[in-house]
Amino acid sequence: MPNRIPTTRSRRAAARTSLALAALLAFAVPAGARESGIQLAPDSNRYFISKDVGSERWAITYNLGDKTVTGNVFPLDGGAPTFLSCQITRVEQAPNPADAQYFMDCRAAGPCASAPCTDQWGAPSAVGPIPGSFLLPSNTLATNAGNVQPIYNQSCSTSAVCHGKGSSFVVLARDVSWGNTFLVESNGVNGPQGVYIDPFSPDGSYLFRKLLGTGAGELMPYNASPLPPDQIDAIRNWILEGAANN
């Protein structure tokens, strides 16, 4: 006869998660003296998040590559954890990253009693909006999607003339700009000039030096006015904060 314990635990986990998600949506004040924190992974590809939300401790990971949020929710008064698997479906960006609004589809499961761990997860539930301040480090000044990519889009960096397909320059179009620049060695018409984007180091980033006019070759944007100071600052801040694909 099939073991009915996993099914019972899944139902209990789903009930606990419904309450936990409701608390998250309300963005409850952290409980007790336990400290919260967020840390960017060494390779800038995910954020590790540990926060109290109502009566729950959330230990989750925001995976920047596939735009998922996964992890565990622990009751502060003890008991089994709930496991979360969420897919970010939409982000409403804002000039201040803390004000961005994230929307997700989330599924929950209780602990697996024994392998195989099949049919453990509940149906997806729509969650959101979740503020950027919950998923990003405090005082984040710039994100790739919300602040940097719009600058690329406004210049010729995504056009066929300057940075399009067949060009000898790096393509900075949406969905490919980060992969084409993050720790990628430059080797264009000016020869090797180091990596385009060196996380935490604007001075070590050839792309940023080109925007300042201190890198080899023409000032970028090519044949156009230099970027205004606020846009330069946005790209500088994003690199200083780790140049994540956020």
Q: Hunting for tokens 């089994």 — which residue is that?
A: 80
> By percentage, how much of the chain surpasses pLDDT 70?
81
pLDDT of 139 reads 96
Number of domains in the chain: 2
Nearest Cα to Cα of residue 189 among 158, 218, 160, 221: 218
Residue 154 banded pLDDT, cuts 50, 70, 90: confident
Asked if 105 contacts 124 with a C-beta cutoff of 8 angstroms, the reply is yes
178 and 61 within one domain: no
47 and 16 within one domain: yes
Distance CA 48, CA 41 (A): 7
Domain carrying residue 186? 144-240
85 and 34 within one domain: yes
Q: What is the pLDDT of residues 131-152, one digit of tens each?
A: 999 999 999 999 999 999 999 9
pLDDT exceeds 70 at position 57: yes
Q: What is the pLDDT of residues 123-133, one digit of tens each?
A: 999 998 999 99
pTM, 2 dp: 0.81
86 and 15 within one domain: yes
Asked if omega into 150 is within 30° of 0 (cis), the reply is no
111 and 42 within one domain: yes
172 and 126 within one domain: no
- How many residues in total does the chain contain? 246
pLDDT of 162 reads 65
157 and 94 within one domain: no
Nearest Cα to Cα of residue 147 among 208, 238, 69, 75: 238
